[in-house]
Amino acid sequence: MPVGLRALSAVLLLGLLGGCSASKGKVTLEGDTDAGRTLYAQSFNKAYISKSHDGEYDVILMQDPQVSKNATKGGNKPLQPLAAASVRQIVHIHVFWQGDFGSVARDGVVTNAAIDWYVIAHESSDRPEVLRYEGAGYVLLNPGRNGTSVDIRDGSMKKTESHGDLRDPLGPAKLTGKVKALQNSQIVRDTLEDLKSQTATAKTAVSLK
């Protein structure tokens, strides 16, 4: 198995259908590949949210590789070996409008959010390898004293970009999940700028080959 695929598969499978570690939440993905349907449960150890002046929201979920290497509770252990310790996962959810917790049942399946999922690896150089998935979903936000609950319902996504040797282990996928995000506009803004920079660097590196 190529190093990039082995590393990516290891990261995605760390929380497979079990309890997550001390994270900010978990997202479950149901992928559809040539090998059949596969279920993953990915935990995230950082989550942040910001609100724009026009009432839209940006949510950032992050899973750092050094946290992914830790064993999880409930008997789930990381796949070994974890070939690329520098693999990161970042999810950007842009919520266009706020729904309430009964609107899905009343109105049927709707979408109010764009979802971008990035897998970024630095294998042997400063030029990142990037997988990007894009999609949409229905996302409910419930502000609380200790953070905003982000409830992802009826989400779907598929791979739209691939730069480098990373392969797609998911195929088109459905996703649901719940995380708790802290308000921090600066981190959200900096992360989105960093994503633009890294994806641009990856595109340049591929075009120069």
Residue 43: per-residue pLDDT: 86
Residue 88: per-residue pLDDT: 84
Q: Strands, E, within the chain: which ranges?
A: 25-33, 36-44, 46-51, 57-63, 88-95, 113-121, 129-144, 147-163, 173-183
Query: Residue 59 CB: number of other CB atoms within 10 A?
Result: 23
Task: Give per-residue pLDDT as tens, 58-68.
Answer: 999 998 765 44
Is the pLDDT confidence value at 167 over 90? no
pLDDT band at 123 (very low <50, low <70, confident <90, very high): low
Higher pLDDT, 26 or 11: 26
Distances, alpha carbon 104 to alpha carbons 30, 111, 114, 142, 207, in Å: 20, 10, 17, 15, 44
Region 127-140: mean pLDDT is 89
Average pLDDT, the chain: 74
Among 89, 94, 80, smallest CA distance to 43 is for: 89
C-alpha–C-alpha distance, residues 4 and 89, integer Å: 14
Q: Where are the alpha helices (DSSP H) in the chain?
A: 3-13, 65-68, 103-107, 185-207
Residue 170: per-residue pLDDT: 77
pTM recorded for the entire structure = 0.75
Considering only 31-35, 76-80, 146-150, 189-193, which range has the smallest mean pLDDT?
Answer: 76-80
**Which of 31-35, 99-103, 107-111, 175-179 is the most confident on average?**
175-179
In sequence order, what are the residues at sequence separation of 6 or more whose Cβ sits closer than 8 angstroms to the Cβ of residue 115?
Answer: 91, 92, 93, 133, 134, 135, 136, 137, 152, 155, 157, 175
pLDDT band at 187 (very low <50, low <70, confident <90, very high): very high
Residue 66: per-residue pLDDT: 55
